[in-house]
Amino acid sequence: MDQISNSNYDNYKLDTRGANKLAWDLHKNLMEPGFVDNIIKTIGLDLLLKTRNSGLISNIINYFVETANTQMINQVESKIGNIKLMKRDYMCLIKYFYVPDYPRAQMYWVTNILGVKTNTNTSILQLKDINFILENKLHKLLGYLSGLFVVSDYTGSACMISPNSQFKKFSIKPELQKYLITQLENYMGNYVKVANSFYSSQIKNQTVIIDAGNVLHGRNGKVTHESIQDLFNIIDLTRKTLGEPIVVIHKRHGKSYPVLIDMFIKSNVKYFQTPYNFNDDIFIMWFFAKSAGTLNILSNDKYRDHIYNYQSSAKSDDFFISEFANVLTEQTLSYQLGTLEIQQALSYSFCIQVIGSNVYVPHISGKFIQVSTE
Same domain for 182 and 308? yes
Q: What is the chain's mean pLDDT, rounded?
A: 87
Tell me the pLDDT tens digit for each residue of 93-126. 999 999 999 999 999 999 888 876 544 434 568 8
Could you count the other beta carbons within 10 Å of the beta carbon of residue 301? 17
pLDDT at 4 over 50: no
Q: Which residue range(s) make up the domain with 43? A: 3-85
Same domain for 285 and 178? yes
Looking up residue 289, the CATH number of its domain turns out to be 3.40.50.11980
**pLDDT confidence of residue 109:** 94
> Does 147 fall in a domain?
no
**pLDDT confidence of residue 17:** 87
Could you count the other beta carbons within 10 Å of the beta carbon of residue 100? 10
What is the arithmetic mean of pLDDT over 216-241?
89
Selection from 374, 359, 373 nearest residue 161 by Cα? 359
Domain boundary among 38, 57, 85: 85
Tell me the pLDDT tens digit for each residue of 51-61. 888 899 999 99
**pLDDT confidence of residue 183:** 85
Same domain for 78 and 183? no
What is the arithmetic mean of pLDDT over 69-81?
92
pLDDT at 5 over 70: no
Same domain for 41 and 187? no
pLDDT at 272 over 90: yes
Interatomic CA distance for residues 341 and 304, integer angstroms: 23
Same domain for 68 and 182? no
Tell me the pLDDT tens digit for each residue of 337-355. 989 999 999 899 999 999 9
Same domain for 67 and 183? no
Tell me the pLDDT tens digit for each residue of 146-169. 998 888 999 987 799 999 999 999
H or E element in which residue 170 lies: none
> Does 106 fall in a domain?
no
Domain boundary among 35, 53, 85: 85
Interatomic CA distance for residues 248 and 279, integer angstroms: 11
**pLDDT confidence of residue 191:** 94
Interatomic CA distance for residues 192 and 196, integer angstroms: 6
Same domain for 78 and 193? no
Q: Taking the CA atoms of the chain, what radius of gyration do you get in angstroms?
A: 27
> Does 267 fall in a domain?
yes
Total of domains in the chain: 2
The amino acid that residue 373 corresponds to is T
C-alpha dihedral (153, 154, 157, 163), degrees to nearest 10: -30
> Does 209 fall in a domain?
yes
**pLDDT confidence of residue 122:** 43
> Does 352 fall in a domain?
no
**pLDDT confidence of residue 318:** 61
**pLDDT confidence of residue 82:** 76
Tell me the pLDDT tens digit for each residue of 281-331. 899 999 999 999 999 999 998 776 666 665 555 555 566 677 888 888 889
Same domain for 38 and 187? no
> Does 63 fall in a domain?
yes
Selection from 262, 243, 152, 261 nearest residue 204 by Cα? 243
The amino acid that residue 250 corresponds to is H
